[in-house]
Amino acid sequence: MSNLLRAEFFKLFKSKAFFICTLSMVGATIIMILTYKLLAVLYTPEMLDALSAQMEGSGLTSSGSEVFMTTYNTVTILPLSFTGNSFQLLIAIFTAIFVAGEYSCGAMKATASKGYSRMSIFASKFISTAVAADILVIIGLISTVIFATIIFGFGEVPSGFASDMALFLLVQFVLNLGVSSLFVAISTLVRNMGGCIAITIGISSFLPMILSLIDLVIQKLLPDLLLSISSYWIVQVVAETSTLSLTSSLLTKGLVTGILYTLFSFIIGAASFQVRDIN
């Protein structure tokens, strides 16, 4: 297993896709911060309040009031890094290339014939992808801190900032582990790089809409049932928990969602890898 991990990390740091995704992460962060700068320059506080209310009302964003705030600095922008799905999309695309690419180029055959158990091969892939996703997130956060500080300044550090930030990062890392796990499982099931990227984009673009439709159907059929499936979609939970003022219920929801996505994805991915032939 340690040999497999060593090989995985070697591949990771030689992977062109990893460096492209890392650069894209930095680029997405810069675009995000420049957008805030533009908002701060163009909009008056009254206009932002009105826009925020309008967007929340139309369901376009779950955290409109936070996006359209009037004071921008590193402290206020940092939690917002996770609200858009750019982090998750990049993790998903990288995972598709890193995991499914092994099947597409046939390298998985060479690894699988080296006498390691299927479980160790899958676990090493799972761990290395999770580490890669965390590295991407850390780079996203670091670039947010750097560029937000350059453009807006760091801002006043409120009391309890360190503990709030620690909890926030814990939840975000657990949730991003869930995201990377989900896409490792999808890549293991699909085993085709092009297919995986298409599914990734499809999931990011259409799944929230499909889940909302399912919610509507459930509400229509079972009006007494207080169930919202879309609120458990991991990207939605990432956005919900993108705040330094995490309530205990939100904290629990974030951690449980991340852990469950990780566990289920591992089980499904490992079972598929264990049973299916490698082509």
Partner 1 sequence: MEYALQTKDLVKVFPGSYAVHHVNMNIVRGDIYGFIGKNGAGKTTMMRLVSGLAKPTSGSIEIFGSKDLNKQRKRMGCMIENPGLYPNMTAKQNLEVFRKTLGIAEKNAVEEMLSIVGLDDAGSKKVKKYSLGMKQRLGIAIALLGNPDFLVLDEPINGLDPEGIKDVRNLLLKLCREKQITIFLSSHILGELSKIANRYGIIKNGKLIDEFTKEELDLRCRRCLKIELEQMGNALKVLETDLGITNYDVLPDNTLRVFERLEDAAMINAALVRSDNLVKSIALSGQDLEGYFMDMIGGIDE
Shortest reach from residue 246's CB to partner 1, in Å = 41
Residue ranges in contact with partner 1 by CB under 8 A: 2-4, 6-7, 10-11, 14-16, 105-117, 275, 277-279
CB of 19 to partner 1, least distance (A): 11
Q: Which two tokens stand for residue 232?
A: 């458990």
CB of 58 or CB of 113, closer to partner 1: 113
Residues in CB range of 47: below 8 A, 6 or more apart: none
Where are any strands of DSSP class E within 101-196?
Answer: none
Closer residue to partner 1 in complex, CB, 101/269: 101
Cβ neighbours of residue 252 under 8 Å, at least 6 residues apart? none
Q: 223 phi and psi, to 5 degrees?
A: -60, -25
Half-sphere exposure of 84 (CA within 13 A, CB side): 17
Residue (24 or 231) nearer to partner 1, CB: 24
Closest CA to 237 of 228, 75, 217, 68: 228
**What minimum distance in Å lies between the beta carbon of 110 and partner 1?**
4
Cβ-count burial of 58 within 10 angstroms (0-12 exposed, 13-18 middle, 19+ buried)?
exposed
CB of 120 to partner 1, least distance (A): 9
CB of 96 to partner 1, least distance (A): 15
Query: Looking at beta carbons only, is 4 or 91 nearer to partner 1?
Result: 4
Output 23 or 213, the one with its CB closest to partner 1. 23
